[in-house]
C-alpha cells in the first residue's frame, strides 16, 4: 500500500478499496518502524492524522468529498501549523507552537489531505545536505551513509522511503529540486508568487517558494491544484489565475523546442550525470521535441550573487528571533543586551550564524554598494538571459545537480564546496522561474535528476514534459523501488 501514488490512493478511496483511516494507520506504522533510521520527521501528528482521516471517511460516505480527501501528506517543518510545533529544525524554535496555519497548510486541510507530521530540514532552510538540523541529519533512503540533499531533505527522504506518498517543500536556491534529485523523486519549484508564502517562515523573502515533492509529475500536478492561487495575505502572491495542472499532462511534445545551455555541460559536471541527462534528452527527441543549444552568458554570476542576496535577506528576516517575544531565551540574562546576545548565540546553529554575519556585512553602510547592489544588478542580467533564451525555446533542460548524493560529513565543514552543489538551480530562484526535477538515471546505485526550467507560470508545460518522460521511461519507478523500505 505504501508504494501507491497520490492518484492511486485517491482512486482507491473513491472505489472503497480501503479507507483513509486504514492507509493513514499504515503510514504512521511505517514512520514508527523505519524513520528512526532515516530521521525524516521532526514531529509525527498521529492523533490529528487519524481524526482527519475519520472525518474524510465520513465525508466520502456522505458523497461530500474532494478528489484528495483522506489522502496522507507530510509537511516541511517550515510551515506554521496551528497547535503543532513549528521548529524550522532550529533550537531557536524548538519550543514554538504555532497559533495559526500557513496558507499552504490551510489549503491542504481544505482539500481534505491528512497531515502525517512535520519533516526534518536544514536549520531555517539554510543548507544543501540536511546536516544543519538541530534534530540531527536526515539519511538518504538509497544509502544511509549519504545525504538526502537540502533544505527539504526530510520531505524528499520521507517520500522516497515510502513514509508518505507526497510532501510539501520550499525552494530558495534549489531546496526542492536538489533533494528530489538526490532521493529519486519528482520536485517542482513553481514561479515565484504562484503559491502563497504566508505562514512560511522566511529565509530569503524574494527567493523562497513552496512546492510539491511527489513520486511523479502527475502527483505534483494534483498537489499544484491544491496549493497554488492568489492569497491577499501575501503581498508577493500573484493574482494571475491558476489552471488545472492535470489538464495537459498527456499533450504531445511534438514541435517543442528544448534549450541546452552550454554552461550546464562543462567541467565540474560528473560524466555519468551528463550521460544520463543526454540519454533523457534523446527520449524527448523521440517524442518529437527539438534540442537547441543556447547561451546563458551570465550563468557564472548566479552563485556569488545568490550568496550575497540570500544572506542579506536572512539577516533581516532572522532579526525577529531575539529571545523577547517567542523562541529560545537564555537563562538569567543580566540585561537586554545579554539577553539578545546569548539567546541568539545559543539558539542558532553555525551555518545560520555564518549567513547572518555575511548578510549583515553586505548590508552595512560601507559595503552595500560594493556587494548587495552589485549582486542585484547581476540578478537582473541573469533574468534577462533567461528571457532572451525563452524567445528561442519552450523549455530549458540540464542536470539538476553536478553529482549524485555525497557522503554524510563529507562537505559539511567546507561551506564553499557545499554552496556549489546548487550551481544549476540557484539562477532559477534569482529569476523567479519555475523548474522541475525528475529522475532520469542511476549512477553508482544513486539516482540522477534531470532539471526542466520553464518560462513564467509555465508549470503546466513543465508537468506535461515531466509526465510524458515518465510515461515513456521507468527511472522514477526504478528509483523508488530501490529506496522504499
pLDDT tens digits in sequence order for the chain, 485 residues long: 899 999 999 999 999 999 999 999 999 999 999 999 999 999 999 999 999 999 999 999 999 999 999 999 999 999 999 999 999 999 999 999 999 999 999 999 999 999 999 999 999 999 999 999 999 999 999 999 999 999 999 999 999 999 999 999 999 999 999 999 999 999 999 999 999 999 999 999 999 999 999 999 999 999 999 999 999 999 999 999 999 999 999 999 999 999 999 999 988 899 999 999 999 999 999 999 999 999 999 999 999 999 999 999 999 999 999 999 889 999 999 999 999 999 999 999 999 999 999 999 999 988 999 999 999 999 999 999 999 999 999 999 999 999 999 999 876 566 767 777 789 999 999 999 999 999 999 999 999 999 999 999 999 999 999 999 999 999 999 999 988 87
**Structural domains of the chain, ranges and CATH numbers in brackets:** 6-256+392-483 (3.90.1300.10)
Which distant-in-sequence residues (6+ apart) come within 8 Å of 197 by Cβ?
205, 208, 209, 210, 234, 236, 237
Helices (H), 287-333: 302-317
The DSSP line for 240-267 is S----TTTTTT---TT-EEEEEGGGSST
DSSP 136: -
Distances from the Cα of 458 to the Cα of 21, 23, 157, 191, 426, angstroms: 36, 34, 27, 8, 18
**What is residue 338's predicted lDDT score, i.e. its pLDDT?**
96
Q: How far apart are CA 413 and CA 351, in angstroms?
A: 10
Buried-state track 262-290, b at ≥16 Cβ within 10 A, e below 16: ebbbeeebbebbbebbeebbebbeebebe
Known catalytic residues are 76, 151, 175
Distances from the Cα of 451 to the Cα of 87, 264, 337, angstroms: 30, 11, 47
Q: How far apart are CA 204 and CA 120, in angstroms?
A: 19
User: Cis omega before residue 151 (within 30°)?
Assistant: yes
**What is residue 411's predicted lDDT score, i.e. its pLDDT?**
62
pTM of the model: 0.96
**What is residue 421's predicted lDDT score, i.e. its pLDDT?**
79
Burial level of 445, CB count in 10 A (0-12/13-18/19+)?
Answer: exposed
Q: How far apart are CA 431 and CA 380, in angstroms?
A: 8
Amino acid at each position: 500500500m505504501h508504494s501507491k501514488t497520490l492518484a492511486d490512493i485517491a482512486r482507491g478511496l473513491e472505489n472503497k478499496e480501503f479507507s483513509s483511516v486504514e492507509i493513514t494507520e499504515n503510514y504512521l506504522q511505517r514512520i514508527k518502524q523505519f524513520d528512526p533510521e532515516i530521521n525524516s520527521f521532526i514531529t509525527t501528528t498521529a492523533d490529528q492524522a487519524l481524526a482527519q482521516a475519520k472525518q474524510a471517511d465520513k465525508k466520502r460516505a456522505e458523497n461530500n468529498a474532494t478528489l484528495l480527501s483522506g489522502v496522507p501528506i507530510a509537511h516541511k517543518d517550515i510551515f506554521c501549523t496551528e497547535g503543532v510545533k513549528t521548529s524550522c529544525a532550529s533550537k531557536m524554535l524548538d519550543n514554538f507552537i504555532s497559533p495559526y496555519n500557513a496558507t499552504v497548510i490551510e489549503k491542504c486541510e481544505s482539500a481534505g489531505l491528512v497531515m502525517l507530521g512535520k519533516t526534518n530540514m536544514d536549520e531555517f532552510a539554510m543548507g544543501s545536505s540536511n546536516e544543519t538540523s538541530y534534530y540531527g541529519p536526515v539519511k538518504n533512503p538509497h544509502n544511509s551513509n549519504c545525504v538526502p540533499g537540502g533544505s527539504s531533505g526530510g520531505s524528499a527522504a520521507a517520500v522516497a522511503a515510502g513514509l508518505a506518498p507526497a510532501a510539501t517543500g520550499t525552494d530558495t536556491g534549489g531546496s526542492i529540486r536538489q533533494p528530489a534529485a538526490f532521493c529519486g523523486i519528482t520536485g517542482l519549484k513553481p514561479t515565484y508568487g504562484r503559491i502563497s508564502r504566508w505562514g512560511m517562515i522566511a529565509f530569503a523573502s524574494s527567493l523562497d517558494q513552496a512546492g510539491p515533492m511527489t513520486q511523479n509529475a502527475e502527483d505534483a500536478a494534483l498537489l499544484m491544484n491544491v496549493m497554488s492561487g492568489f492569497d491577499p495575505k501575501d503581498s508577493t502572491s500573484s493574482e494571475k489565475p491558476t489552471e488545472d495542472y492535470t489538464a495537459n499532462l498527456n499533450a504531445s511534445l511534438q514541435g517543442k523546442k528544448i534549450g541546452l545551455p552550454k554552461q550546464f555541460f562543462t567541467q565540474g559536471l560528473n560524466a555519468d550525470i551528463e550521460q544520463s541527462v543526454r540519454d533523457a534528452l534523446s527520449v524527448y527527441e523521440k517524442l518529437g521535441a527539438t534540442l537547441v543549444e543556447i547561451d546563458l552568458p551570465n550563468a557564472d554570476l548566479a552563485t556569488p550573487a545568490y550568496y550575497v542576496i540570500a544572506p542579506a535577506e536572512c539577516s533581516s528576516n532572522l532579526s525577529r528571533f531575539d529571545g523577547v517575544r517567542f523562541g529560545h531565551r537564555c537563562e538569567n540574562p543580566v540585561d537586554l543586551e545579554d539577553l539578545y546576545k546569548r539567546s541568539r548565540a545559543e539558539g542558532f546553529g553555525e551555518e545560520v550564524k555564518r549567513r547572518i554575519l555575511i548578510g549583515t556585512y553586505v548590508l552595512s553602510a560601507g559595503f552595500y554598494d560594493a556587494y548587495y547592489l552589485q549582486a542585484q544588478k547581476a540578478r537582473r542580467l541573469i533574468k534577462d538571459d533567461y528571457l532572451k533564451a525563452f524567445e528561442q525555446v519552450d523549455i530549458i533542460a540540464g542536470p539538476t545537480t553536478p553529482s549524485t548524493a555525497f557522503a554524510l560529513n563529507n562537505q559539511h565543514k567546507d561551506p564553499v564546496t557545499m554552496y556549489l552543489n546548487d550551481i544549476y538551480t540557484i539562477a532559477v530562484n534569482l529569476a523567479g522561474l519555475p523548474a522541475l526535477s525528475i529522475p532520469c538515471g542511476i549512477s553508482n546505485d544513486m539516482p540522477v535528476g534531470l532539471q526542466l526550467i520553464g518560462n513564467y507560470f509555465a508549470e503546466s508545460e513543465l508537468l506535461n514534459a515531466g509526465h510524458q518522460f515518465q510515461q515513456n521511461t521507468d527511472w522514477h519507478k526504478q528509483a523508488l523501488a530501490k529506496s522504499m523500505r
